[in-house]
Amino acid sequence: MAAIEHFWAVVPAGGAGTRLWPLSRAASPKFLLDLTGSGRSLLQETVTRVTGLAADRVLVVTGAAHRDRVAAQLDHLPGDRVIAEPSPRDSMAAIGYAAALLEREDPDAVMASFAADHVIGDLDRFEEAVALAVQVARDDWLVTIGIRPSGPSTAFGYLRRGAPVPGYVGAFVVEEFVEKPSEEVARGYVAAGTYRWNAGMFVCRPGVLLDLLGARHPGFAASLRDLAASPHRLAEVWPTLPKIAIDHAVAEPAAAAGRVATVPGEFPWDDIGDFHSLAEVLGGAAGDLQVLGDPDLVRAESASGLVVPAGGRMVAVIGLDDVVVVDTADAVLVTTRARAQEVKAVVDGLRDSGRTDLT
Amino acid sequence: MAAIEHFWAVVPAGGAGTRLWPLSRAASPKFLLDLTGSGRSLLQETVTRVTGLAADRVLVVTGAAHRDRVAAQLDHLPGDRVIAEPSPRDSMAAIGYAAALLEREDPDAVMASFAADHVIGDLDRFEEAVALAVQVARDDWLVTIGIRPSGPSTAFGYLRRGAPVPGYVGAFVVEEFVEKPSEEVARGYVAAGTYRWNAGMFVCRPGVLLDLLGARHPGFAASLRDLAASPHRLAEVWPTLPKIAIDHAVAEPAAAAGRVATVPGEFPWDDIGDFHSLAEVLGGAAGDLQVLGDPDLVRAESASGLVVPAGGRMVAVIGLDDVVVVDTADAVLVTTRARAQEVKAVVDGLRDSGRTDLT
C-alpha cells in the first residue's frame, strides 16, 4: 500500500513489561527486546510496520532513561523523532504532547498511536484498517481500531460498537469502552459479535484529540499546546501534567459524547502481557514446547510450554507440561503458563527487599 | 562408642551420580559434593562417621582422576590411605584389593565397606550395628547390615533373612539377595517383615572375602593377593581384573552357600540416587519446598519440591508442586520429583551429542 500523505505514526514506548521478568527489566524494558525471534525488537518491528503508510513520519515518545537505546535501534529516523519524557506521566501526556507537536508541524496531519510493545500478524490487513481509520479520522472522529477477539480474553479491554458511521463501509460508532471482563462476561461479548478488543490504536487529527481533551481537562490541553510552542520548557512543565491514561482522559468521555468511531482490525494482535501470551504468539498450542532463542541450549523430555535460554546455559526440562523456564545471566524463572501472571508478585517482592539490581 | 581394635573401614568412592546432574559431573562426582547442607562432602561425612569405631584405619579406593581431590578432602588421613584405581573395575576389584592389602597388613583385621556417597542418620545405631557385625564377622561370616525399610522402595535391592545365627542376638542367616523389586513385590517384602534393604555394607575378615571370591573366581582372588604383595604392578595388573560387582561375585553365591549373615540396621539410610531421594533426605515431605544452598537466592510462590541455587543466580519458582530446579554455572535442570530418575537420559543425550563439557 502506498504511503498516506500527512499520516503520522506516534509510538509510545513505555512500560517495563514486569510480567516478562527476568527477560524484561526496568533498564531493559519489553519494547527493546526481541520477543519473536525475528532478530529485531518489538519497537523496531512496530516502527517497520508503519513505514509503508507513514514513511519516516514517526514520532517515538519514551522515557529519558531509554532515549539513547531507542535512538540507536531506530537510527534510520531523523534525530528529532525520538522524544524523551523527563518522567513517566502515563499515556495521555505522551500521546497528547506528540499531538501538540504535530498540530503545529502539519495542520493536515492525521496521527495514529501504536504501542511499541505489541505484536501484529498480518501487515496487509493492518494497513487496510489504518487506511480506513485515517479516512474516517479526517472527518474529525476519534477512531480506534477494534480487534476481532480470537477468544474470550480477560486480559484486554473491549469496546461495543453501535450504528454504522454514515459514508464509511466498515466504520461504526463506539457506544462504550469496557474494562477487562470476567471470563463469563468475555464469553458473552464474543458471542454477541458487537464487541472488539481495544488495542489502544487511536487514529485522529491532532487538534481533535487536544480539543476532546480540552473539553474535560482544559488546563491539560493548554499545557500541551504551550509546551509544543516552547519545547525548551519540557523539563519544567512535564512534571506538572496529570498522570492519566488516554482511555480515561479522552476515549471514554468522547465515546459517551458520540465522538468515537471504530474500524475493524482483522489481523492477529497481542500485547504479550506475560509468558503465556508470549508462548501463544510464538505459535505454541498446548503440548508444544516453544524455544525463544538457541534451540541447541534446550534439552527436553516429555515437556511442553516455553523455554527461553537467554543466559547461554544449557536448560534441561523433564516431565513438565505447559512449563515456563526463563534463564538469564543473573536470574532464573520457573513457572507455568497458567501462573504466568504472578511473575509480577516476584518482581515486586525483589524490589521490596532491595534487590533492585535484579528488577 | 570406643574404637574397635583391628577394625578397618573400606570406602569405595566411585560412581558419578549421573541422576544428580547438573550438580554432579564426571569430574565432580556425587561423593565430593555437599548434598546435605552440612558444609562437608558425602565422602567427608562417610569417613567421619566411621572414625569412632575405626579411628584412622580407613582405606579409600577411588578413581585416579579423583585421587587428589579425595586426598585434599581427607587431609587428616595418612597419605597411603587413598588408593587410586587406574581405571574403573567395579566394586569387587576395589573392595577386593583393599581386602588383599589389609590381609597382609593386619592378620586380625575385620573390614567393613561403606560407599562414599550414602547418607546415614543416627550415629549411635549405626555404630551398634557395625559393632555387632564385627563380632559375627570374626566367626568367618560375611556379614551385611540389613537396613529396615522405611517404605516399599523400588530403588534398592533387598535381602531375605532366615534362621538366627547361634550365639549372636539379632544376627540372622541371609537366605538370599533379591534385585530391585516392582512396587507390588516391594509391598509384599515390607509386609512380610523378613526383608531388609541391602546397602552394600559388607563386614568380614579380609581373608574370608578373598576365599569366598576364590571359590568361584580363583584367578581373580589370586591376582588381588599378588597385587597386594607387589603394589608397583597396579597399572599393569588392574586392567586385567574382571569388572563385576561384589554382590554378584561374592555375596549372592556366598548366601546360597549359607555363609552370609545379617545384623539389623535401625538407622535412617539413603543412597541419594536422584533428586527425589535428595529432597527426602533433606526432610522434604510433599508440599514442602526444600532449598539446598543459600535460601536468599530462592523466591517461591505456591511452590513445593527442591531448589538448588548452586549457580549464584536468583531462582524464582511460581505455582509448581514437587518441582526440582537445579541451577549451576553452565546448566539448569527443571523437572519433578516423580521424574527425577529420567535425568540420566538427558545426561546420556548430552554425552552422545558431544557436550561432554557439560557432563
Q: pLDDT tens, A33-88?
A: 999 999 999 999 999 999 999 999 999 999 999 999 999 999 999 989 999 999 99
Test A318 with B339 for CB contact under 8 angstroms.
yes
The minimum CA-CA distance between A312 and chain B, rounded to whole Å, is 8
With contacts defined as CB-CB under 8 Å, which chain A residues touch B321? none
pLDDT digits (tens, 9 = 90+) for B163-205: 999 999 999 999 999 999 999 999 999 999 999 999 999 999 9
With contacts defined as CB-CB under 8 Å, which chain B residues touch A308? none
For residues A338 and B237, give the distance between their C-alpha atoms in angstroms, rounded to a whole number: 60
Cβ of A229 under 8 Å from any chain B Cβ? no
Torsion of CA B228, B233, B238, B239, to 10 degrees: -160
Please state, as a whole number, how many other Cβ atoms lie within 10 Å of the Cβ of residue A39: 7
Cβ of A1 under 8 Å from any chain B Cβ? no
Locate B116 and state its grid cell: 562414599
A313, A317, A345: residue with CB nearest B330 = A313
B302, B339, B349: residue with CB nearest A319 = B339
With contacts defined as CB-CB under 8 Å, which chain B residues touch A318? 333-336, 339, 342-343, 345-346
pLDDT beyond 90 at B344: yes
Test A339 with B331 for CB contact under 8 angstroms.
no
Q: Can you give the pLDDT at residue A10?
A: 98
For residues B75 and B79, give the distance between their C-alpha atoms in angstroms, rounded to a whole number: 8
User: Helix B206-216 to helix B90-105 angle, to the nearest 10 degrees?
Assistant: 130
Three-state secondary structure call for residue A302 = coil
Please state, as a whole number, how many other Cβ atoms lie within 10 Å of the Cβ of residue B349: 14
pLDDT digits (tens, 9 = 90+) for A143-192: 999 999 999 999 899 999 999 999 999 999 999 999 999 999 999 999 99
What average pLDDT does the segment A102-130 reach? 97
A317, A331, A346: residue with CB nearest B313 = A331
With contacts defined as CB-CB under 8 Å, which chain B residues touch A338? 319
A301, A334, A339: residue with CB nearest B346 = A301
Test B323 with A334 for CB contact under 8 angstroms.
yes
Q: Can you give the pLDDT at residue A171?
A: 98
What average pLDDT does the segment A238-257 reach? 97
Q: Can you give the pLDDT at residue B284?
A: 67
Please state, as a whole number, how many other Cβ atoms lie within 10 Å of the Cβ of residue B229: 10
Q: Which residues in A275-294 are b (16+ Cβ under 10 Å) and which e?
A: bbbbbbbbebeeeebbbbbe
Test A319 with B338 for CB contact under 8 angstroms.
yes
B149 Cβ neighbours under 8 A, 6+ residues apart:
B158, B186, B189, B190, B195, B196, B197
Cβ of B24 under 8 Å from any chain A Cβ? no
For residues B114 and B14, give the distance between their C-alpha atoms in angstroms, rounded to a whole number: 11
B316, B318, B335: residue with CB nearest A318 = B335
For residues B233 and B238, give the distance between their C-alpha atoms in angstroms, rounded to a whole number: 8
Q: Can you give the pLDDT at residue B347?
A: 96
Separation of CA B358 from chain center: 24
For residues B303 and B323, give the distance between their C-alpha atoms in angstroms, rounded to a whole number: 8
For residues A336 and A331, give the distance between their C-alpha atoms in angstroms, rounded to a whole number: 17
Cβ of A332 under 8 Å from any chain B Cβ? yes
For residues A249 and A251, give the distance between their C-alpha atoms in angstroms, rounded to a whole number: 7
Asked which of A259-263, A285-289, B35-39, B97-101 is least confident by mean pLDDT, the reply is: A285-289
Phi, psi for B108 (deg, rounded to 5) = -95, 10
Q: Can you give the pLDDT at residue A91?
A: 96
Q: Can you give the pLDDT at residue A17?
A: 87
What average pLDDT does the segment A116-124 reach? 96
What average pLDDT does the segment A6-21 reach? 94
Tell me what percent of the residues of chain B surpass a pLDDT of 90. Answer: 95
Cβ of A318 under 8 Å from any chain B Cβ? yes
Strand (E) positions, chain A? 7-13, 58-63, 82-85, 110-113, 119-120, 142-147, 158-164, 172-178, 195-204, 260-265, 269-270, 289-291, 298-301, 305-309, 314-318, 323-327, 331-336
The minimum CA-CA distance between B315 and chain A, rounded to whole Å, is 5
Test A335 with B346 for CB contact under 8 angstroms.
no
Please state, as a whole number, how many other Cβ atoms lie within 10 Å of the Cβ of residue B138: 16
For residue B298, list its beta bridge partners.
Answer: B315
Nearest CA in chain B to A333: B316
In the structure, what pLDDT confidence band is assigned to residue A284 with cuts at 50, 70 and 90?
Answer: low
Phi, psi for B352 (deg, rounded to 5) = -65, -30
- Rounded to the nearest integer, the mean pLDDT of chain B is 96
For residues A224 and A212, give the distance between their C-alpha atoms in angstroms, rounded to a whole number: 13
Q: Can you give the pLDDT at residue B16?
A: 81
Q: H-helix or E-strand containing B164?
A: strand B158-164
Please state, as a whole number, how many other Cβ atoms lie within 10 Å of the Cβ of residue A166: 8
What average pLDDT does the segment A274-288 reach? 86
What average pLDDT does the segment A126-131 reach? 98
Q: What is the pTM of this model?
A: 0.91
With contacts defined as CB-CB under 8 Å, which chain B residues touch A355? 314
DSSP 8-state class, residue B167: T
Test B336 with A319 for CB contact under 8 angstroms.
yes
B330, B346, B358: residue with CB nearest A318 = B346
Nearest to A317 by CA among A330, A332, A305: A305
Length of chain A: 359
In the structure, what pLDDT confidence band is assigned to residue B1 with cuts at 50, 70 and 90?
Answer: confident
What average pLDDT does the segment B115-134 reach? 97
pLDDT beyond 90 at B15: no
pLDDT beyond 90 at B283: no
Three-state secondary structure call for residue A7 = strand
A313, A330, A345: residue with CB nearest B331 = A313
Please state, as a whole number, how many other Cβ atoms lie within 10 Å of the Cβ of residue A332: 26
pLDDT digits (tens, 9 = 90+) for A300-359: 999 999 999 999 999 999 999 999 999 999 999 999 999 999 999 999 999 999 999 999
Test B320 with A315 for CB contact under 8 angstroms.
no
Nearest CA in chain A to B315: A332
The minimum CA-CA distance between B147 and chain A, rounded to whole Å, is 32
Nearest to A281 by CA among A121, A115, A114: A121
Region for B163 from its dihedrals, namely left if φ exceeds 0, alpha if ψ lies in -120 to 50, beta otherwise: beta
Region for A331 from its dihedrals, namely left if φ exceeds 0, alpha if ψ lies in -120 to 50, beta otherwise: beta
Locate B41 and state its grid cell: 562432602
